[in-house]
Amino acid sequence: MDRKTKRLLLLIASCSLTGVILGGTASWAESNLCLRADRVTSDCVTQDPIQKTIEGMSTGLVAGAGAALGVAWNLRHQD
């Protein structure tokens, strides 16, 4: 593997990991705020906070990988 490929993989991995952490944290916080609201909706009560967190983490993974690929694509075409 050449140096550029290693850098690209490192960029994708780090952005994906950051996306997973931020997505999971945001979903967890949102579900906690939803349950502490003055008016608790049926969506708050019926949805599992763990499932909501996993959905946020998967969305963050895709968003992070997409952002890394977008940056790499942009840098490649600027040269």
The angle subtended at Cα 59 by Cα 54 and Cα 11, nearest 5°, is 115
Number of domains in the chain: 1
Asked, for residue 8, whether it belongs to a domain, the answer is no
Q: What is the pLDDT of residue 79?
A: 61
Asked, for residue 43, whether it belongs to a domain, the answer is yes
Question: Who contacts 27 (Cβ-Cβ below 8 Å, separation ≥6)?
Answer: 52, 53, 55, 56, 57
What does pLDDT average to over the chain? 90
Q: Domain span at residue 62?
A: 17-74
Asked, for residue 79, whether it belongs to a domain, the answer is no
Per-residue pLDDT of 19-51, as tens digits, reads 999 999 999 999 888 888 888 888 788 888 899
